[in-house]
């Protein structure tokens, strides 16, 4: 891969990660607070950035709920959480596979 191609992959990965992180910081707390208000947050981690809650949102633990408000908050949180993870992995792989130089 050329340096220009590597830079495009790196910048795209960082852009997707940034968009995902920003969106998660909006929809993650809203979803968690929605669960707290309905006293349904037990067993889903202690806060909105806990691995347990992130896994619950990403793996659609909320999909069986009849609460339309929860589904309306959790669906964008899921998409943005996946953007955060995929963008982070793409950026990390791009940094490790930098052409022509060691990554450090």
Per-residue pLDDT of 42-54, as tens digits, reads 667 777 788 898 9
pTM of the model: 0.84
- Would you list the DSSP string of 34-49? HHHHTT--TTS-SSTT
3-27 pLDDT, tens digit each: 888 899 999 999 999 999 999 999 9
Contact predicate 14/95, CB 8 Å: no
């Amino acid at each position: 891969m050329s340096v220009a191609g590597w830079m495009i992959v790196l910048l795209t990965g960082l852009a997707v990660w940034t968009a995902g992180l920003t969106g998660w910081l909006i929809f993650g707390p809203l979803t968690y607070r929605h669960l707290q208000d309905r006293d349904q947050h037990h067993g889903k981690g202690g806060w909105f950035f806990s691995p347990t809650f992130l896994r619950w949102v990403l793996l659609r633990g909320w999909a069986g709920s009849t609460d339309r408000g929860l589904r309306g908050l959790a669906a964008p949180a899921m998409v943005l959480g996946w953007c955060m993870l995929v963008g982070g992995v793409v950026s990390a792989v791009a940094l490790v596979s930098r052409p022509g130089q060691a990554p450090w």
